[in-house]
Structure 1
Amino acid sequence: MKLRTASIQDLDLVQYWDTKQHVIDCDPDDEWDWEKELNRNPEWREQLIAEVNGEPIGFIQIIDPLLEDTHYWGEVEPNKRAIDIWLGEEHNLNKGYGTKMMNLAIEKCFENELVDGILIDPLKTNTNAQRFYERLGFEFVEERDFDGTTCIVYELKRIKPAGNKVSYEMP
């Protein structure tokens, strides 16, 4: 598996994935303007496509929640990252791809030695996602309302600065 930068050439694909029921179920209020977002590259965000053998299978967004322009996360400490992730096609679910994608995203976040934690916010009703993140070592922080949607906030903390080696606690 590899991650590559998403581009405007991915527009039709991500728009299609955004119509899939399992993606909608993860964020039913999402009204993302993909054309606009794929055409801009702010310093606080990376948008990535996960590929297996050259086939796009999923999308990852990594942001600095302190600098993100909508201030979705509200007041946050510096040196955090937040991840959004989803697989595009149903036939790619339950094959371990999500775990591989998250591990690559976690490594990417912790490449910056200043980053000391990664935030995620699955829906309160999405207990499968909550168990998934807990298995990866994310710990419950709080239940929070984001613009009328109740989510569970989790954080994966860096154990210690580790030079070039990523170090975080796995269960």
Structure 2
Amino acid sequence: MKNASSTLSLRPATPDDLSLLKQWDEQPHVLESDPDDDWQWETELQRSPVWREQLIAELEGRPIGFVQIIDPRLEDTRYWGDVPDGRRAIDIWIGEASDLGRGYGTQMMRLALDRCFAIPTVDSVWVDPLETNTRAHRFYERIGFEFVEKKRFDDQDCSIYQIKRKTYSNIP
């Protein structure tokens, strides 16, 4: 695991996390990055499809954030469209504003990318921040993601970024 603190870990989200996730969903910084999504937590925390991992990031046992990793080729809603094999897509956020700007997001993303690239057939990982979320763009670029294209999902204009296995393996 690259530069990740041994005190930060990812664990599967469970129905016991429902109230926490709903609370985080209402935080202004989370709404700013994802204003229109309804994650349907009550239903989705009960499901464990083979194409998805929903994870809680914990710092020394304290929940601080959420990570979702999907195989966009197999995902139910076909959000990403027709996608070749070997891709993953990540959603990530810090729950409380007091935990922003402390390096936790970078550690969470590295743990998520390590998890994605542990699968030998995965060759790239995508993220889709809102076009207006320039803070997220800078975050992804610092980690090594490269801008691919602008794309409209539902009613939201997004910027698609990807990181390839070769790029990630060369990041110190």
Structure 1 length-normalised TM:
0.94
Identity, in percent, stands at 56
* Residue in structure 2 matched with residue 100 of structure 1 by the alignment: 107
Q: How many equivalent residue pairs? A: 165
Equivalent in 26, 37, 53 of residue 30 of structure 1: 37
| Runs of 4+, deviation exceeding 6 Å | none
Determine whether 1:168 maps to 2:156.
Answer: no
Q: How far apart in 2 are the matches of 1:147 and 1:169?
A: 35
Matched residue type, 1:140: F
* Residue in structure 1 matched with residue 65 of structure 2 by the alignment: 58
Gaps of 5+ in 1: 161-166
* Residue in structure 2 matched with residue 164 of structure 1 by the alignment: none
* Residue in structure 1 matched with residue 152 of structure 2 by the alignment: 145
Matched residue type, 1:170: I
Q: Whose RCO is larger (CA < 8 A, sep 6+)?
A: 2
* Residue in structure 1 matched with residue 26 of structure 2 by the alignment: 19
Q: How far apart in 1 are the matches of 2:103 and 2:82?
A: 33
Structure 1 residue 27: Cα displacement? 0.8
Please tell me whether the aligned partners of residues 157 and 169 of structure 1 are also in contact (alpha carbons under 8 angstroms). no
Q: How far apart in 1 are the matches of 2:118 and 2:31?
A: 31
Structure 1 residue 168: Cα displacement? 2.6
Q: How far apart in 2 are the matches of 1:149 and 1:25?
A: 12
Gaps of 5+ in 2: 1-7
Please tell me whether the aligned partners of residues 118 and 157 of structure 1 are also in contact (alpha carbons under 8 angstroms). yes
Matched residue type, 1:158: R
Q: How far apart in 2 are the matches of 1:94 and 1:124?
A: 21
| 1:64-108 CA distance string (max 9 Å, x none) | 000000000112221100000000001000000000000000000
* Residue in structure 2 matched with residue 154 of structure 1 by the alignment: 161
